[in-house]
Amino acid sequence: MGRHSCCYKQKLRKGLWSPEEDEKLLDYITKHGHGCWSSVPKLAGLQRCGKSCRLRWINYLRPDLKRGAFSQEEENMIIELHAVLGNRWSQIAAQLPGRTDNEIKNLWNSCLKKKLRQRSIDPNTHKPLSEVEKDKDMLPSTDKTNQKASLGSNEVSLVDHPAKALPSSERYPLEVSTSSTQELFLDRFGATCHDNSCRPSDVVGPYFSFHHFNYGTTNMGLSANPNASLSFIPPSTSSDVNNSTISSSMLHSIFPTHVKLQSNDNPSISSDAVQNWESNNTNKSNASMQFQSSTNFLENTWGVAESAKVNINKDAQVPLQTEQEDLKWSEYLNTPFILGNTPENQIQTSQSIYSEVKPETGFITDESCTSWHHPPPAFQLSDVYSKNLQRFSVTFGQTL
DNA sequence: AACGGAGTCAACCGCCGCACC
DNA sequence: GGGTGCGGCGGTTGACTCCGT
């Protein structure tokens, strides 16, 4: 526990790396590979600890690193991924080839947070600041403590949360938000479900948190309940729905493996009565695979070559300061959100949730349930909403 | 030119989970 | 089961640069 043993050793250099040190490390790893990092400094003739060498290699010397400023597309992608993953920089970095988690973290803290705030978007919740303030005021005083922690920073995700006590293998990629986000979500959820199909018990989950996407007037969310089910919350208004497309990149991160899908349009449908689509990827070892491999998962099992675009609410009523800002924000909201850099990857689904489902998708609905027959070529929620479903939930397989 | 605040970024710190003994 | 070593991660720090006054 605590510091790495090598850090206790004396006479180890700290601070910035000299060009000579870089050269030594680069030479050594190029010739021998890093192997055991703790032995690298000694073998490479460096007065550094192994961790320091590892960090230097990963963040600076690695040959596949992309240099230079982040492109607009990369920034957009980071924002979208952050909305789903929170401060999971390594997973975000896995979706941005050549970029390091450190780099992305720095960009977020120094630049993107500010940009979002300038656009009246709360960088922690990705909701409009006005709404965050409103929800903050609506919370009972007893919740203020949690609210303070979570609204202040996503970094405190799951603090005091029962999920924290679970082993990582039992936690899911979606646990990115905070208890206050949960509160906010519940508030939103209650406001948008006007029939009996939505029960708070469906979404109040002590083990999992969820994220609520809210761009302008678009309200959609993802939740998880104690039964290990995740729920996709549709946009709250029909106009939202018409303008919303869920990014499959979000789904990449949420459903890395062994996913079951179910519809909850009818509250009488019990989980065991719902037909499930289930990935044939039952290899438990994949349950913890990183973002990059989850992409492969979709490629391999769902036929999704790469991801779709996010096109959330073109009419987002985000307060804008100038026309130029308006334009930029509009561009952001409408920028195709594409995973991967290669042109051949930039072609996939970008269909409206309400759009027609092509027969060949294999996404089948009936009166009581919605299921995918493996392997659908693309992730489509359209049919779910065309049947006016209030909720669309995704249940993880128990082998996760 | 000098100063100070803001922004950027590389590196460190502390913790966690896993593997091994 | 407990201790230890190690890799990995996210948060934080501090040096440096930029820019306005």
Give me the residue label for tokens 């909701």.
A127
Q: Which nucleotides of C are covered by protein (CB under 7 A)?
A: 4-12, 15
CA distance A339 to A309: 9
CATH code for the part of the protein at A66-127: 1.10.10.60
pLDDT in tens, A281-333: 333 333 323 333 333 333 332 323 333 333 333 333 333 333 333 333 333 33
- Give, in order, the Cα–Cα distances in Å from A168 to each of A50, A86, A165, A262: 26, 16, 9, 25
Residue nearest to nucleotide C14 (CA to C1'): A15
Could you tell me the residue ranges of all domains in chain A? 9-62, 66-127
CA/C1' separation A18–C15 (Å)? 15
* Whole-prediction pTM: 0.48
Average the pLDDT over each of A40-44, A49-53, A279-283 and give the range with the smallest value. Answer: A279-283
pLDDT of residue A136: 64
Residues with CB under 7 A from strand C: A 1, 4-6, 15, 36-39, 50-51, 54, 87-91, 101-102, 105-106, 109, 153-155, 157, 290
| Cβ contacts of A34 within 8 Å, gap of 6 or more | A40, A53, A54, A57
CA/C1' separation A265–C14 (Å)? 54
Domains A9-62 and A66-127 share a fold: yes
CA/C1' separation A166–B17 (Å)? 12
Bridge partner list, A218: A215
Q: Is the pLDDT of residue A101 over 90?
A: yes
- Beta strands at A392-396 and A259-263: parallel, antiparallel or unpaired: antiparallel
pLDDT of residue A329: 36
pLDDT in tens, A228-267: 333 333 333 333 333 333 344 444 443 433 333 333 333 3
Q: Which residue pairs from A63-66 have beta carbons closer than 8 angstroms and sit at least 24 positions apart in sequence?
A: A64/A97, A64/A98, A65/A98, A65/A99, A65/A100, A66/A97, A66/A98, A66/A99
CATH of A9-62, one of 3.50.50.60, 3.30.420.40, 3.40.50.300, 1.10.10.60: 1.10.10.60
What confidence tier does A159 reach under pLDDT thresholds 50, 70, 90?
Answer: very low
pLDDT in tens, A63-92: 888 878 898 889 999 999 999 899 999 999
- Give, in order, the Cα–Cα distances in Å from A42 to each of A28, A37, A38, A53: 11, 10, 8, 11
Q: What is the DSSP letter of A390?
A: S
Q: Is the pLDDT of residue A130 over 50?
A: yes
pLDDT of residue A118: 82
CA distance A59 to A65: 8
pLDDT in tens, A185-211: 323 322 223 333 333 223 322 233 333
For residue A1, the one-letter residue type is M
pLDDT of residue A137: 66
CA/C1' separation A245–B18 (Å)? 39
pLDDT of residue A12: 85
Residue nearest to nucleotide C4 (CA to C1'): A1
